[in-house]
Structures are given as C-alpha cells and as structure tokens.
Structure 1
Amino acid sequence: MKTNLLCWALFATITSLLTAEEPARFDRSVKVTQNFEAAIPHPAQQKAVAEKLAALEKKTGRKPNILWLVVDDMGYGDPGCYGGGEVIGAATPNIDRLAVGGLKLTSCYSQQTCTPTRAAILTGRLPVRTGLTRPILAGDKVTKNPWEGEVSLATLLSEAGYYTLLTGKWHIGEGKGMRPHDVGFDEFLGYYPAQKEISQRVDERRYPGLVLDPDRMKMFEGVGPDDHLTHGFKGGKTEQLAQIKSTEDMGKADQVLADFTIAQIKKLAQGDKPFFIEHCFMKVHCDNFRNPDLGVLSESKYAYKEAVAEVDLHVDEIVKALDEAGVLENTFVFFTSDNGPQMDAWPDSGYTPFRGAKGTTFEGGVRVPGIAYWKGMIKPGRTSNDVFDLMDLFGTAMTLAGVAIDKLPDDRYYDFIDQTSFLLEDEGKSNREAVYFWWGTELMAIRMKEYKGHVKVVLPQSTHMHIDLALVHDVGLAPWIFNLHLDPKEEMTVGHRRDPWLASVLGKLKAHAATMKKYPPKNIGL
C-alpha cells in the first residue's frame, strides 16, 4: 500500500505542475509512464480510497478477496437493472439486487468477442498486442504460444500471496503452456472452449451432418476442442473428469461449476490466504440447453431466457456463499459479460438496445453490463455513465492486492487504467479518458466522453448477421462521429452538423495508433 501511495503522490505532483502551466484541455488524461495508458488524475479521490483500503486491511488483517463473475455473450439489455429482465421474459432479481447494492456502470466496455476480452482482463493489454485477436477454433494452429512472455494477473496475485482459481470457460488456448494453470492460476476447474464447440458433438437435431456421420465425426475429433470437465493445478496434474455426452450434460454444466466455486469459497475463507476467483459461466453462449434438474425458470421458457435465469440463480448462490463464509465484507465482486449478444444465433441470443452485436465495434457488440459490489466499501445505489474498460479490472486488482506497477516489464505497452478510486469512492469519477476498439488487427473506433468516432465499421448484410454475413468497411470521406447522449443507437453522425471541433477525439485515436509503432504487436498466426 505504501508503494501505491508513493506512486499517487508522484502522480499528483506531476499533475499539479502540468495543470499550473496548461489551460484546460478536452483530453484530461496525463501520461506519467511512457508504456502505460494515460489516466485522468484524481488525487483527492485516490488518497481517500487508499486510506479506506488501509483501514479495512487493518481491521481484517489481510488483503481483500476478489471475485469476478463473467457471463458469456450476455447482452446489455438482458438483466432487469439494464432494462431487460422480466420485461423480456427472464427476470433477474439477484443480478438486479447486486446492482442496487453497489455501483451500476452504464458505459462499461468489453472487446467485440470472447477470447480477446478474456485475454485483455488477465494481461491488462489490448488483444492486438498479445495476438489473441479472436477465438482459437477447431483446426487453428497458432505459430507461437501467445502467453509466452506475458505476465498474467493470476501470476501477479499468486506471487502476492493470493490463492488464484479459474472456474468455468477458459477459451484462451488449451495446448500445454496455454491453460489457466500454466499461466498463473493455482487451480482450474472448467472447460477450455465455449458451449457450442462442445455440444455440437451430441446435438443431432442441429448438427446431423456431424453427429450422424461417423467418418466426419472422426475427422472432427482430430481437430476438435476438448469436451471434458478438466481439473488442473499449477505445477501439478491435469485430469480429465466427466465428458459431455448429451445436451442434458451441457445443460447441467453451470450448476456443477457453481457448486465447485461455492465449495471453494467455503474452504478458502477458512485459510490464511486471500483469494482471487474468476468464475466464468458457460451460459449464455449458444447453444443453450435447460438444466433439467432446475425445472422452468423463466416466463419465456425459451432456451436463452432459461439460461439467463439460471445465471441469475447461480449469482445469488455464489454471493450467498461469501456471506455465509463470513467474507462478503472483505470481497470485491464484479459482474459482467465478455461481449454483446451473439445475434447470429438468434433466437438463442441476448438483447441489446444498441446498434450492432457481438463481432462488431458498434455499441451493441462492446457495451456490456458492469456491476461493482462490495458490502461496506461501495456505496449502494450508485450509477455512473463514466467510461470503464474491462481491462481496468487488471489494474484495480493489482491495487487491491498491493502489487506495484514496477512488477510489470517495461518493454511492452499496458492499456489498463487503475479504477480503484472510481469504484470505491462514494462519488468517484472514472480515471479513464478513452476506450479504443479493435477488430482483429484493424483499429476501428474510439469512445471519449459522450462521443464515439469510427474510422472503420462492421456492417451486416442481413438481419442479425453480424459475424457470418458481415463486411468490414472503411467509413469513407470522414470518420463517423456519434453523440451517444443524443443518439445511443449510432444512427446519425454529428461531425459537420453539430461538432466539427471533434478532431480532438480523432487526435486521441491517432496517438493511440502510434503506440503500436513503438511497441509492435505480436503475431501468433491468427
């Protein structure tokens, strides 16, 4: 904590010197270290939160636990607290209760698909930098291990005395050297791929050409992802447990995972180490199957809605486990989704009120639910529209664990912002000025304040076809700039109509692109 306080003192001193000499700027961020993303200085809020954390540590005698609840492909508009829930056939009372009890972020951003987000939150770096720009799919052969040379959050927290566990979906490589317990986690129980990549082997109604053709199935098994529940330990054994042999097995998977996380919370709460748990749901990624042991959970009764309702049920079970174990008041909880809804799978897909969906960098693809909850530490009932990137969880976790930034190598660029003070101060403001959006290796867009500027866009060629039938386009004569306060659906540009001075936003985007020249991105063959 002393190291972090010294860092913030230095940051505040530099800031005061800069602001004394310069007039107010549209870009409020200040770059203190060349290989880190510039942040907006809030020295008073940072000092207050540092003291708040120090007081809690003095009271508990240990660092706080960290729990991430990451849903797969949930849309911004699925939870009731974001305008969905009961209105669209699947009530989410437990997720809603979490939001009422903490901070609901309304401008929380992911990457545009799952693997990039999952890599970004564990490395603090944009996927284009690590090479993990899209899911590694059946038949893909990466040319190098993307984790080689990367310092994962799990490694940092493990070295700081945390027990680190990932439960559920991984999807960032299943070869040796790329598994969760190879890249820093002490323990892993879950599945390497997404639901559909597993269930397609057993769903003859949807995939008869594979399931009912033994020769084709044999070919697929030669390149297909693993379909077992896997249990692995850092430096120890990796064991294949139950295999998914039916769609019913797939439907029960999230209950198995939730039960495991709950058991681990009870066990770890009795130990002498704080814990970091990343619980990654298999649902609500297509293909969704009802858990036959739970009965009907939603008014809609459709598979996707049943999946949303089941996730809500497990959120309640996991949070209750923290409370029953006596660690709720010393655990930072963050609930989110790894990207927007996969509309290509409609109707087995979620809802977003915004333009686009998973696979695009329009708001529908990257604007996701984000709820920060910490009983006694985060003021209940807060809502903020300040920007937050899920990568910021990396820097926030470092601060909570007391890990200094000098633990990170200085030969690469880091894109995260430490948002601890934003999340924990009662009226906290975001320390992030801008969010950048990439599609693979293409720089697409920027969100800065209420403005969204696109230099490239993904345009579907048919209804809901944002991946399988879509084109990447340059925008043409001028960038597409939208005022998200006036036009959250990104339908009418405002560049020459209302805000021609917004070249400031594009200047920020250009400066971001320049970091790629100084710190070249990896190419792993994707």
Structure 2
Amino acid sequence: MKRLTTLLLLLCCLPAASAEQPPRFDRSVQTAENFEAAIPRPQQDQAVAAKLARLQAKTGRRPNIVWLVVDDLGYGDPGCYGGGATVGASTPNIDQLAASGLRLTSCYAQQTCTPTRSAVLTGRLPVRTGLVRPILAGDKITANPWADEVSLPALLSDAGYFTLLTGKWHVGESEGMRPHDVGFDEYYGYYPAQKEISQRVDDRRFPGLVLNPERLAAFEAVGPSDRLTHGRKGGPTEELAAIESTDDMAAADQTLTDFTIKRIKELAAGDQPFFIEHCFMKVHCDNFPHPDHAGRSEAKYPYKDSIREVDAQVGAIVAALDQAGVRENTLIFFTSDNGPQMDAWPDAGYTPFRGAKGTTWEGGVRVPGVASWPGVIPAGRVSDGLFDLMDLFGVGLNLAGVASDKLPGDRYYDYIDQASFLLADDGQSKRETVYFWWGKELMACRMKEYKAHVKVVIAEAPHMHIDLATVRDVGLAPWFFNLYLDPKEEMTVGHRLDPWMATVSGKLKAHGATFKKYPPKSIGL
C-alpha cells in the first residue's frame, strides 16, 4: 500500500499527456482582442531587447529610423531582386544596401499607394480607416479619416523624436489631412503623385487637357496641388515653386533628396533621435529623368533612367547618414508602396509574378523590402518570412520605446511588432498571415507558402490591370496556390496536393469576423 501511494504521488508530479499540445499549423496567438495574432518568439524578443539596450547605453539615445519609399517600383527592378542590368537599369546602391543587411523576399504592401502609405502610419488596414484608394481630382471626402487615428509620427514625436516626411504624401491635402497635421513635425514635398502634377503641363501626352484652356481651368479648380510645400506642425505652411514644365518634374526628386540630406546633417548634430520617411516621386508614371541620368541606363528608356536616378539618390542619402556619423545608430528600411503600374507600359517596372499594381495577385502586392543597420543586422541575411509593411508601425514603436497600451482600445490593429525579426542575428517572422483587400472587398490571404483567393482581379487585356480589369468571385472553392511551387499563381492545388485549404480559408473567415466588433470607417471613397 505504501509503494502504491508513493507511485501515485510520482505520477501526480508528471505533466499530464493532454497538457502537451501538438504542433499547430497556425502558430499565431492573439494576446489582445483588438490586436492581430502573432507567432510567439520570446527568446528572440529578449535577445533583441538586450541588443538595443546595449546600443542605447553606448550612444546615449534611441536609434534613428529612416524609411526610403519608392513609388510603383517593381519587385524585379533592383538587381538584388533579379533585375538591375538584366532588365535595363543597374542599381548598385540598392544592391549594396541589401548586401549590408536583410533582404526580405516575402514583403507585402497594399495594392495601391494611398492604402499602403496610410497603413504603415496607422498600423491598420485601409479598409478600417476608410483610405481604401487614392484621393483623386473631384473626389468629395465626407470625413477626415485622420481625425481619430493615432499616427506613428505623432507617437514618435511624443516620445522625443523629430519626425520628417520628405516627398510624396498622397493621403490627403486639405487642412487636417496634411503630414504636419497628422503627426509629422515637418513636411517638405508634393501632396499628389507625379502624373497628377505633370499631366497639366505635358502637351504631348495630354493635349486634350493642356491645349484646351477651358478644360485646363476646370481641372485646376478641382485638381491636386502642383506646388512644392513646406509645412511645420503648429506652424506655417508655405507653398513654394510650382511645377510648370516636365523639366521641373524631372528635377523634383533631386530637390527632395537635397533637402533630406541637408536635414540629416542638421538633425544628426542635434540632441533628438529622428524619424525620416523619404518618399520618392519616381518611379510613378509619368517619368521624366533628371538630366544627369537621362539616357544613362542600359535600356535608355525614361523609366529605366529614373530607376538609375533613384538608385543614385538612395546612395546619397545612405552616404549622408554615414558622413553625419549616425549610420550605425540608424535603421534604414527600403521598399516600394506597391507593385509596378503596368497600365503605363513601357513607363513601368518589372515583376516576375502574376498581376501588377491594382491587383492582389503577387505582382501587385509583393515588393522589395531591405533592412540595413550595420552592427545590429548581420550583413547578407535573406529571409522568406512574411512581413507586411504595416509591421513597420510596430518596429517604430519598439525602437522608440512606446508601449502598445498607448493605442486606443476601441479599434483593431493589424500590425505586428517585427523588430526582433529584422534585428535578431537569425530572426524569424512573427507573422503567420497577410490579408489582401481591394477597396472594401476581402480578396485573399497568404499563410506560410499558401495563398487563398476568394475574389480576383482579371486583366481583360495585356498590362491593363487597372483600366481594363474586372473583379470576380472565384466560384465553388477558393483559388488555392502553393507559392513555392507556383509563384506565378497559375495552377490551384487545393484538392490535389495540399490539405491546408480549409485552415487558410478559416483564417479568412476569422479575419472577416473582426469587422463585426470593430466596424470600418467610410469617408466617401
């Protein structure tokens, strides 16, 4: 009896068999009802927290953050992503930046520019904020989407950072929606995209507008600003030189780069860490290369010359950080706001994937993503871990020491803090799923190497992914692709090769359910 009692006590001390959870296909865990579920990586998080603490003790300040965002750059344009000279425009500076740090091969944007640009600054999907597409000439916004949003630059500014946006904005230009109204301490750039400015002066491509005084006057009455703007939070907003010719448009990016370099020198000499989002006007059509680069690419075409120009300006900005002595305390992230706009071909980029800007195929949403930070991110890293550009919101909060409890609890946040993915020596992604929307339509999601579509954008003619395309339901079952076998999304595998379609489809349903408790805003777009 005594031996039986001892045996029972020993058995009671052993873990129950049911307590050992088997591995799950979905590894993500939701720690708060209004935050996106993430894959727990506690050891990785702790290692990076210790690394950052050592760096702060050494430098005496928080790290700087610099985003370099190109407009409509294709995944396959940079040499480090298989492009470069192969597709007619060498990119030595972008390639060197990638070699110095981490190159992401599954980095995702939204399918057009305004949605991406708003998402990275709010940490929320555009369908939640109402910024589901670009605001165009003649649009009537019914509400200011920024009125109740808490932006990353506002949070960083409150945490002691100086925040600057240089270049393209395209997320609203009326008072209350400008960069310096929504959290940036300073703004120097143009509100709209290149084409929305240059179309009023390019009489070869838009003669029906430029050469018709009556129509041009009507456009000017509703069209976006064509002026370089300099604004300061709580201070004046100055309208500087207007774009009066395609030559002026060609020179715009160099003017913006010169300003960013000037501010880097000034800010590096100050006592605040800084956050700079430098948004290139190029390579959104219509492209007019700077005279220093015209005809200098291998292809000699304006788009390719503009790629060469952007590459040179990336190199100049990185060199300015180095010369200012802050490169080793600065995270640089280089990316594009969506895939190439093939509707403007040949003034368009290259992607090896199906689709382009305006679609939720890989060609529209998979973009270059390069993170560089000497001494923190080991050189030569490459990862296929999932990264949504919204995750930059969480990375920024982490580096600035801003806790997520600073965010309102009455709305859903879609970002994931991926600082440890980017900064750990062999960091692993904490994101299990990326969701894709087209306007107010839930289209698809990627989970691991799988992607399920419930709606698709079909181009009705070559390269016409926006102007001659239709949105369709897929039919009896989601279109289910294995992106490792079929990165061009040409042949479904759901009922033949893979058993995970129901699991991925279940993630789509669960994601859709978040909108019942946290309904999306509508601003009239």
Who is 1:129 aligned against?
128
Q: Which residue pairs with 2:354 in the alignment?
A: 355
Q: Secondary structure at the match of 1:49?
A: helix
Residue of structure 2 equivalent to 1:183: 182
TM-fit CA distance, 1:361: 0.2
Q: 2:168: which partner in 1?
A: 169
Q: Is the 8 A contact 2:189 2:228 kept in 1?
A: yes
Aligned partner of 1:427 in structure 2 is 426
Match of 1:421, SS state, is helix
Is 1:336 the equivalent of 2:311?
no
1:141 aligns with 2:140: yes
TM-score normalised by L of structure 1: 0.96
1:44-443 correspondence runs (5 A)? 44-443=43-442
Whole-Å separation in 1 of the counterparts to 2:186 and 2:359: 33
Give me the whole-angstrom Cα distance separating, in 1, the residues matched to 2:48 and 2:213.
60
Q: Distance in 2 between matches of 1:74 and 1:340?
A: 6
- The residue aligned with 2:9 is none
Q: Distance in 2 between matches of 1:295 and 1:109?
A: 31
Q: State the Cα distance separating 1:500 from its structure 2 match.
A: 3.4
Deviations 1:32-85 (Å, cap 9, x if unpaired)? 011000000011111000000000000000000000000000000000000000
Q: Which amino acid aligns with 1:156?
A: L
Q: Secondary structure at the match of 2:496?
A: coil
Equivalent in the alignment of 2:443: 444
In structure 1, the residue matched to 2:24 is 25
Give the letter for the 2:164 counterpart: L
Local SS of the residue matching 1:68: strand
Q: CA deviation at 1:335?
A: 0.1
Aligned with 1:192: secondary structure?
coil
CA distance in 2, matches of 1:201, 1:296: 25
Instruction: Find out whether 1:506 has 2:505 as its counterpart.
Output: yes
Q: How many residues align?
A: 509
Give, as a single letter, the amino acid of the residue that structure 1 aligns with 2:290. N
Q: Does 1:481 align with 2:480?
A: yes
Q: Give deviations 1:171-219, integer Å, cap 9, x for gaps.
A: 0000000000000000000000000000001000000000000011010
Q: Could you say if the C-alpha distance between residues 327 and 310 of structure 1 is closer, same or farther in structure 2, counting changes exceeding 3 Å? A: same
CA distance in 2, matches of 1:46, 1:277: 25
**Deviation readout 1:251-280 (Å, 9 max, x if unpaired):** 010000000000000000000100000000
Cα distance in 1, alignment partners of residues 319 and 445 from structure 2: 38
**What is the identity, as a one-letter code, of the residue corresponding to 1:50?**
A
Whether contact under 8 Å (1:252, 1:293) holds in the other structure is: no
Contact 2:286 2:347 in 1 (8 A): yes
Write the deviation string for residues 103-135 of structure 1: whole angstroms up to 9, x where unpaired.
000000000000000000000000000000000
Change beyond 3 A, Cα 1:20–1:296: farther
Identity %, equivalent residues: 74
Aligned to 2:8: none
AA paired with 2:224?
A: P
Larger radius of gyration between Structure 1 and Structure 2: 2
Q: What one-letter code is carried by the residue in structure 2 that aligns with 1:263?
A: K
Question: How many angstroms apart in 1 are the aligned matches of 2:122 and 2:397?
Answer: 11
Measure how far apart 1:497 and its partner are.
Answer: 1.1
Aligned match of 1:14: none
2:300, 2:136 → 1: CA distance? 31
- Residues 398-447 of structure 1: per-residue CA shift (max 9 Å, x gap): 00000000110000000000000000111110000000000000000000
- TM-fit CA distance, 1:295: 4.7
Q: Structure 1: any 5+ residue segments left out of the alignment?
A: 1-16
Question: How far off its partner does 1:222 sit?
Answer: 0.6
1:293 is displaced (CA, Å) by 4.0
Of 292-301 and 302-311, deviating more is 292-301
Q: Helix, strand or coil for the counterpart of 2:229?
A: strand
**Could you tell me how far 1:21 is from its partner in structure 2?**
5.0
Assess if the C-alpha contact under 8 Å between 1:269 and 1:325 holds in 2: yes
Q: Which secondary structure state, in structure 1, belongs to the residue aligned with residue 464 of structure 2?
A: coil
Q: Secondary structure at the match of 2:154?
A: helix
Alignment-mate amino acid for residue 223 of structure 1: V
Name the CA distance, whole Å, in 2 between partners of 1:123 and 1:400: 16
SS of residue in 1 equivalent to 2:32: coil
Residue 9 of structure 1 is matched in structure 2 by none
Shift of 1:297: 2.7
Q: Please provide the CA RMSD for this pair.
A: 1.0
CA contact (8 A) 1:297 1:310 kept: no
Matched AA of 2:467: D
Aligned-pair CA distance for 1:290: 1.5
8 Å contact 1:188–1:230 — kept in the other structure? yes
* 2:359–2:465 CA contact under 8 A, matched in 1: yes
In the alignment, structure 1 residue 42 sits paired with structure 2 residue 41: yes
Q: Read off the aligned partner of 1:167 and give its amino acid letter.
A: T
Match of 1:470 in 2: 469
Mapped to 1, the partners of 2:486 and 2:294 lie a distance apart of 41
* Counterparts of 1:382 and 1:42, CA distance in 2: 19
Offset at residue 20 of structure 1 (A): 4.9
1:13 corresponds in structure 2 to none
Tell me, in whole angstroms, the C-alpha distance in 2 between the residues paired with 1:497 and 1:27: 21
TM-score, normalised on structure 2? 0.96
For 2:109 and 2:218, locate their aligned partners in 1 and report how far apart those are by CA, in whole Å. Answer: 35
CA contact (8 A) 2:118 2:171 kept: yes
> Cα deviation per residue 1:485-511 (whole Å; 9 max; x = unaligned)?
000000000001111342111111110
AA at the equivalent of 2:489: E
SS at match of 2:277: strand
Deviation at 1:294, TM superposition (A): 4.2
Q: Distance in 2 between matches of 1:192 and 1:448?
A: 35
Measure the CA separation in 2 of the matches of 1:40 and 1:22.
15
1:309 aligned partner, one-letter code: R
Instruction: Supply the AA of the counterpart residue of 2:457.
Output: V
